[in-house]
Every structure is written in structure tokens, then in C-alpha cells.
Structure 1
């Protein structure tokens, strides 16, 4: 599965955990906001990459373009200088529109640092 081009700027990698995509972003100068903390845009970008990865995984074998419609990010706590992980869960996958909820966490998945709700337009090749 290929990730969006800006995923490279974030330095993220893709891992399959229980056969579902999980995105891993290392901490470094490229994602620093205030000293010792992640920049909010890097967290939002990570959540979007996780959402797209979840959709690509669900649409495996289909030729489809995924275009963002809108998204909302909720920041719950500051991301510290640790590896950050994110995963998306599809809450609706229709013929033309999909809704994905994504969470980002550091040490404990049950304590997310941010979450997002993203809506995407899906343009399938067959129609």
C-alpha cells in the first residue's frame, strides 16, 4: 500500500497490526512544535495518513481515488517527545462517501493524544 507523498515528510512508516494498518511517526526536529512537544499540524497529518491507510486497506483490489471532503481534529493532550502511532477505523463506507475515525497515541492506545473524524469522496473506476 502506498501512502500520500507528505507521509514521507512526516517520516512515517506503515505497520500491519492484526492485519490492520497502523501508522508510526518517530519524534524528531521535523515534527517539533514548542520544545519537547509535537506540532499540531504533524499530529493532524498523521491522523489523515492513518485515515487514508484504513480506506486503502478496505478498498484493496479496487481502483479508486480518495479525495478529502472535510475533517475535524480534537487535540486531547500534548504529544511529547516519543514515537506516536495512529490508526483509522472506518465508520461508514458507502458507494461514494466514506467516514473514518482516527486516533493518535503514544504510550497507551487507551489514552489518545488526538482524534479525528474525516469524510472522503470515493471515485471508483467502475462508476
Structure 2
């Protein structure tokens, strides 16, 4: 699946569209990007990105990464999702990358990482299992 096809798939996911998720290819792999938007702030006192925004961003990134890796238009269905919030998401742009740990015929295991200004200091890391179509 090309980057153009990933962008078209993003347009079909209402939550990704609401958040403003974008994708580009970096070193031959999809890298996901969430530009800062005030409506994505959860705690206005810090301010910090809403945890649901970060989790939704990573979940959408994993789904799209699997579609890209499998060159499939079939949307993988999530079986389980676990996220570790490592530090507050500042009011900055958010980046994400995924790694398929294992992919069988029916199930895939994906690791996701989100960071902001320093890739070595992730904001969150998640892992999920997906049922493949």
C-alpha cells in the first residue's frame, strides 16, 4: 500500500480525521504525525494532550501500519490494546511509529511508540493484537 493509499484510508476514519492524523514515509516505513491542535488538549492547567487522543492516535497508526504492511484494504479489528503513558504530552506536535512484532494468518501483534520533540523520550508506548481479515 502506498503513502497515497494510506492518506486515502485516513480520510475514511472519522476519528483520525477529527484528530488530524497524517502519514508520511520515512526510511521506507510509515511515520504518523499529529499536528498540535488546541481541541486535543485534555488538561488545560498543565496543558497536556488528552490520553484518549494519544491512545486513539496510536491505535489508528497501528491499523494503518498493518494495512500498509499487508498491502490490504481490509481493516484489521482490534482484539486488545494496552498503553503505557510515560510522560505528559506537551502542547506540541506528536509523532508515532509502529513495529509488527509477529504477524500470522489471523492475528498480528504490534508495538507503537509516540514521541514529541525527542524520539529518545517517548510520551507513550502501546501494544495491541489485531484480528486480520
TM-score over 0.5 (shorter chain): yes
Aligned-pair CA distance for 1:78: 0.1
The ranges of structure 1 where at least 4 consecutive aligned residues each deviate by more than 2 angstroms after the TM superposition are 62-65
Aligned-pair CA distance for 1:63: 5.0
Aligned-pair CA distance for 1:41: 0.2
- Say which SS state the counterpart of residue 64 (structure 1) adopts: coil
- For structure 1, the 5+ residue unaligned runs are none
- Say which SS state the counterpart of residue 33 (structure 1) adopts: strand
- Say which SS state the counterpart of residue 65 (structure 1) adopts: coil
- Give the total of aligned pairs: 122
Question: Is 1:100 matched up with 2:119?
Answer: no
- The two structures, once aligned, show a CA RMSD in angstroms of 1.1
**Whole-angstrom distance in 1 between the partners of 2:39 and 2:25:** 24
Alignment of 1:1-127 (within 5 A): 1=6, 2-3=9-10, 4-35=13-44, 36-60=47-71, 62-123=72-133
**Whole-angstrom distance in 2 between the partners of 1:8 and 1:65:** 16
- Alpha-carbon displacement from aligned partner over 1:4-52 (angstroms, at most 9, x marks no partner): 3310011111111111111111111220011221000000011111111
Greater helix fraction, Structure 1 or Structure 2: 2
**Whole-angstrom distance in 2 between the partners of 1:19 and 1:57:** 11
Higher RCO, 1 or 2 (CA under 8 Å, sep at least 6)? 1
Q: Contact (CA 8 Å) 1:23, 1:49: kept in 2 or not? A: no
- For structure 2, the 5+ residue unaligned runs are 1-5
- Say which SS state the counterpart of residue 49 (structure 2) adopts: coil
- Alpha-carbon displacement from aligned partner over 1:49-93 (angstroms, at most 9, x marks no partner): 111121011111x45331100100000000001100011110011
